Amino acid sequence: MQAKEEDVSLGANKFPERQPIGTAAQSDEKDYKEPPPAPLFEPGELKSWSFYRAGIAEFMATFLFLYITILTVMGVVSSKTKCTTVGIQGLLGRGHINPAVTFGLFLARKLSLTRALFYMLMQCLGAICGAGVVKGFKKSIYMANNGGTNSVSPGYTKGDGLGAEIVGTFILVYTVFSATDAKRNARDSHVPILAPLPIGFAVFLVHLATIPITGTGINPARSLGAAVIYNKSHAWDDQASKLAYFSREALKKRDNLLPTQVPRTTRGKPEFRVGEMWPFSSKGPSGFSWYSTAEEVTQGLDGSGLTAIITGASSGIGAETARVLALRGVHVVMAIRNVASGNSVKEEILRETPSANIDVMEVDLSSMESIRKFASEYDSRKLPLNLLINNAGVMATPFMLSKDGIELQFATNHVGHFLLTHLLLENMKTTSRESQIEGRIVNVSSMGHRLAYREGIRFDKINDQSGYMSMAAYGQSKLVNILHANELSRILKEEGVDITANSLHPGSVISNLLRYHSFVDAIARTLGKPFLKNAQQGAATTCYVALHPQVKGVSGRYFDNSNLADPSSKAKDGELAKKLWDFSMGLIS
């Protein structure tokens, strides 16, 4: 018995119990090991092969990063992921690929000045060479697409662009620091977290928010490389300011401080508010901005005597468009698939505006039979039609066919609206002629039209399941929304009809479009909320194009943030628009 007790005692001493998680604060010991600060200068590094190997890795990774991203922006390749590039050089150079990240790490004393400068030099050289190779191989396409440079979109100032880039790069750098922090690793050691996951989500959200403004830089090397090779004065690049800003933010992070105030401009007056992201509020030529709401862009306008059909008006920006147009006196016909939901929205609008004139009619835009039935019923009611707002849509659905055997996104987002417009056009012509009031057709497209397949429209492969990519198919459907409006505008001008046709990007809006991707939808509704428009802001451009007198006589144009904007080169291709028109007429015949 005594021998057994000695064995137990020996075992307990030989294998002492590990300190429970979280108890380090109760003792003088730390439950993490933080590496010592890197020296400012470390001349010995210059004699080390690993130093140069890491620099070469940074050069190659940034070279491939620019090569792939610029080709992707130009539509030459469809890169599924950049993780391979970063992963390969991450084994050698710790995966910086971004001078802003390297500079922040230097200021936090995690890199020596020698290594930081060498990394940043190699990153910039790699970016310039990557852009140069693209220009060498694809010069005509390269120049036609502005070399993949970052430029401020119409309706924004350079200050807006700088603000967006500053906050976007801050989010990226701060996430990198947080995901790799020694304290966090120790505290959450029982939770298996891979650093690339939060960093990837940060990059995704920043792109979602800043692509409409600057095309998303958040990487000085990426912006510099494209701008140097493209060599045009409008190639926007203000990276020095970003680095200066992150000097301060890296030091804040080192002292465990959080940013509390970021400048914003509201109603023309600069102010600071906790939690606000960046100055999106600078107004464009129209007098409106990213922040403008549907009520603001229609303030003081009288829509009495006008009748509008709005598809997809039972939720999101469609419901808000219906509410605001009804508020301005327009007779609104909600063309929706779910009548119960439509009636619910109608009741809410009537509670707010008892005098509102609203009808709910059923239509399924994925069914030509349902669309023909809707148009016939509408004509039988002898209602005029001044405004047709083609708003309904689906996004990034799994591959499936409509009731008419057409890929669902192409069928719902384009063919359904094309047929509806075709069937109601005579009514609109009659209404315009008799009322002497300009008719307006509004196609709600998306910035996502830039994500279309390389060839733009796969006329011969619309139903090809083997090559189907949900986001590319969505981009295709949004591209054809623009082309449809452009070609319709051309035809109406030739006929001398007083009806305009325009398209627009409503903005990145919190809506139910991502219902087929519940995980991404959850991320967008939580982490993405500060970066996305609400329904009131998302409906602003639609209401502006549909009702505002500034748009009178403007046709065949593309709008964003209630201002004229420039879509992709494919969206301005007149021959492609004519081909689409003939193709679509064949589908509905």
Catalytic residues: 468
Distance between start and end Cα atoms, the chain: 96
Can you give the length of the chain in residues?
A: 589
DSSP code, position 273: E
Token pair belonging to 328: 């301005």
Q: How far apart are CA 356 and CA 353, in angstroms?
A: 5
Residues 6+ apart with CB under 8 A from 589: none
Q: What is the CA radius of gyration of the chain?
A: 28
Q: CA angle, corner 251, sides to 167 and 99, nearest 5?
A: 60
> Which one, of 265, 352, 363, lies nearest residue 314 by Cα?
363
Q: Is 396 left (phi over 0), alpha (psi -120 to 50) or beta?
A: left
What's the farthest any 2 CA atoms get from each other in the chain? 110
Contact 417, 390 (CB under 8 A): yes
Residues 6+ apart with CB under 8 A from 255: none
Q: Which residue shows structure tokens 């401080």? A: 257
CB-CB neighbours of 379 under 10 Å: 14
Q: Is 444 left (phi over 0), alpha (psi -120 to 50) or beta?
A: beta
Quick one: 341 exposed, middle or buried, by C-beta within 10 A (0-12, 13-18, 19+)?
Answer: middle
One-letter identity of residue 413: N
Contact 222, 70 (CB under 8 A): no
Residues 6+ apart with CB under 8 A from 112: 38, 39, 40, 41, 42, 45, 106
Helix (H, G, I), strand (E, B) or coil at 238: coil
List helix spans (H) across 381-529.
Answer: 408-410, 416-435, 470-495, 518-526
Q: How far apart are CA 269 and CA 108, in angstroms?
A: 35
Which H or E run includes 311?
strand 307-311
